[in-house]
Amino acid sequence: MVEHSEIIRIQAYLRESARAVYTSFCLTPFTLFFHPTNSFKYFNYAIPDNACAHVQADVFHAMRKAFHDRRRTARLEFFEAFAPDLPTALRANGFTEEARQWSMLCTPSTLLPAPAVDGLVSINLGPETSWENARDFVTVQQEAFNPQGNSNPTETEIQQLLDRLRSGSCQALLGKINGEPAGVAEFGRPICGVTEINGIATLPDFRRRGLAAWLTAQALSTAFTIGAQTVCLTAADENAGRVYAKVGFSPFSIMLAFIDSN
């Protein structure tokens, strides 16, 4: 059983790490985050600052307007255990539950090794990352997460990754199998001992080989080496959760996503 104080600590990390990547806007009791160039819904969302037991309707109207003014759709992400009363308020104010995903955590004491993957070469992306490797990383993420979209990243998107890597706000892994980009993983600089592994993606042709588990285990090892005490991630579903359980993750809450239905 994870202490509620740990859930508060992880939720705070997610707010602060998003602040380092996106433009932030305070709308008490929420912080709104906007990607400067990309309207993709997963890059634009709000996070509650507290349990949000009593939120007035005018706050939701203001949130909707703030997203609309930026040509975005209002969307929220938060731990159910952090703000248990918020879903009721959201539904009453025109928001629909979009996703209910496993949130999981791993500590140094629970970390497990992952089996090697045939033909895999892993490249650590840091401050000296080449343009070509950054391009491959962004391409894999876009193809894996948005297969119907444009898989040719713009120079701006590649440069944004390079800027984050060079600032030290994140580290990343690019996995290649027989020379072909196949999978990626990313994690942020630890804040108060917490970090998150996100953007774990494997291209369809390379799935079911253990690549995601191996990249996740490598990211965990690196994160713990540089000072993380707790690493969290959000699994898309129960099947994905089983993959991460193999390297030491266990569920601790449900991550909810709500989106404006008006």
73-82, 88-97, 147-156, 225-234: least confidently modelled range: 147-156
Q: Average pLDDT of 88-108?
A: 95
Q: How confident is the model at residue 36 (pLDDT cuts 50, 70, 90)?
A: confident
199 has pLDDT over 90: no
Considering the chain, what is the average pLDDT of its residues?
93
- End-to-end C-alpha distance for the chain, whole angstroms: 38
Give the model's pLDDT for residue 67: 98
- Is 1's pLDDT higher than 70? no
User: According to the model, what pLDDT value does residue 148 have?
Assistant: 67
Domains of the chain and any CATH numbers: 4-101+256-260 (3.40.630.30), 120-228 (3.40.630.30)
Sheet with 30-34: strands ordered across: 23-27, 30-34, 45-48, 75-79, 250-260, 95-106, 230-235, 194-202, 180-188, 170-177, 120-125
- Can you give the pLDDT at residue 53? 86
Cα distance between residue 21 and residue 40, in whole Å: 14
Q: Inform me whether the pLDDT recorded for 6 exceeds 80.
A: yes
pLDDT at 149: 63
Task: Provide the pairing of β-strand 230-235 with 194-202.
Answer: parallel
For position 69, what pLDDT does the model report? 96
Please give the full DSSP string across the chain, using - where no structure is assigned.
Answer: ---HHHHHHHHHHHHHHHHHHSEEEEETTEEEEE-SS---GGGSEEEESS--SS--HHHHHHHHHHHHHTT---EEEEETTTSTTHHHHHHHTTEEEEEEEEEEEE-TTT-------TTEEEEEESTT--HHHHHHHHHHHHHHH-TTS--S--HHHHHHHHHHHHHTSEEEEEEEETTEEEEEEEEEPPBTTEEEEEEEEE-GGG-SSSHHHHHHHHHHHHHHHTT-SEEEEEESSHHHHHHHHTTT-EEEEEEEEEEE--
What pTM does this model have? Answer: 0.85
Please state, in angstroms and rounded to a whole number, the distance separating the CA atoms of residues 24 and 37.
14
- In 3D space, the residue among 13, 34, 29 whose CA is nearest the CA of residue 85 turns out to be 29
Mean pLDDT over 247-251 rounds to 95
Please state the separation of Cα 101 from the chain's center in Å.
12
pLDDT, tens digit, 9 for 90 and up, residues 123-155: 999 999 999 999 999 999 988 887 666 668 899
What span, in angstroms and rounded, lies between the C-alpha atoms of 153 and 173? 18
133 vs 40, which has greater pLDDT?
A: 133
